[in-house]
Structure 1
Amino acid sequence: MGIVNVTPDSFSDGGQFSLFQRACEHADKMVAHGASFIDIGGESTRPGAVNVSIDEELQRVIPLIEYIAKHHDVWISIDTSKPAVMKAAVNAGANFINDVRGLQEFGALEMAAELDVPVCIMHMQGQPSTMQISPEYSDVVADVHAFFKARIHACLNAGIKRENMILDPGFGFGKTLSHNYELLNRLDEFQVFDLPLLIGLSRKSMIGDLLHRGVSERLAGSLAGVLLAAQRGGDIFRVHDVCQTLDVLKVMDASEHYQHL
């Protein structure tokens, strides 16, 4: 899953792809490199991020969704928590909802059920503006597990099909460095839900703070994280560096199936 943030303030590529033409070119490049999904976000969810209006978010994402739907045969994911944006995005050609708030905003559950497309339910403690202010857990894996259990139940009650659900433990969303690496180490414990796991740790502070690397120097650490997550049951990898990530996954796959090469 290649990331295209059409925002001026995203933590990694903030502003770089906020211009429509450059965003289209970046999406083209990611598809050429082998991305199966393109995840489009019009509102930054980095720590300390502020909300944007529905109209502004729509102006940022809809033209790009229409462009990708017209030119590429890939899954288009809309990274939003707003029901109105979900609806407009799916109508424009998106076929996947990626909600960092786990469909907890007013009307989000009902809208996802109505649209009947796959949805990613992510765990986040707090809100983006405050989530990294001293997050605490008794057991981060147990707490995320309980959250998933409750949200799956809420989704089913709202009419969302189980086969349309994807789970994301929310690396970096209301977690300390140790919380993030405990989640990564115990990722296989979420396989009990028998649902796909979406993993997003590309270039995040869990890489930078551990290695003391700036955002542009986190490729090696991000690839190591993807490899470990894949070995522990990750299914979809939300990344900035599509080509290099696919290289890592292909080598891992070949090592597991070498007798068939």
Structure 2
Amino acid sequence: MQMLSGMKALVVGVANEHSIAWGCAQAFHAAGAEVALTYLNDKARAWVEPLAQRIGAPLLLPLDVSDDAQMDAVFAEVARTWGRLDVLLHSIAFCPKDDLHGRVVDCSREGFAQAMDISVHSFMRMVKRAEPLMSQGGSCMTVTYYGSTRVVDQYNVMGPVKAALEAVTRELATELGAQGIRVNALSPGPLKTRAASGIDHFDELMHLAAERAPTHQLTTIEEVGAYATFLASPGARNVTGTVPIIDGGFHITS
């Protein structure tokens, strides 16, 4: 039997075929789950719709997480179509360019608030809406990065933002654990995604990661998807509040 046979999964954050969220969506599908996808806007839909077709996604819905009405509509459609949800994957992060590229001390109030709202609070809002659909338990996941606990050149204000996301993960895991809902944060090494392309000198960061990692390899979206599939599976029913690092061991080096 496939690990996720019969499960229903909602994956938020697919932008194109290089997205971490796409690696997870493919893995969930291969493991037997039905997978619903969202897209940010009409421009993004042109990239996401062919991917949704590749995995036979029964739902492809618009979702700008800053719009509560759209988020309500997504979860209402999930409830109408499936009546439940087993897996939620949130893979979204954003910071205005000027604030992302500047010093943390110079980050604007507006930029910091927007980064926290889209990158962190949107996960909280999604989990809140997923909770009543997970009456038999479930798995909620988000995506973080090593810069949450170490200063990474050019990652700047996203370090504190990801630290907040990990703290939220622990709190949600504690609050929802008795209901059988697990909450974890995947922490891949640097990957060449559209979101990462906004970080200055990102190619240098990837080169350093591959050079220093014990495996001398960058991680892949397929490897992240494989780990996410385990966390979504019954075998991980007692794993919650964790931040598994998937980076070829780069984080253990000095």
Q: Same fold (TM over 0.5)?
A: no
The higher relative CO (CA closer than 8 Å, separation ≥ 6) is in 2
TM-score normalized by the length of structure 1: 0.41
TM-score normalized by the length of structure 2: 0.42
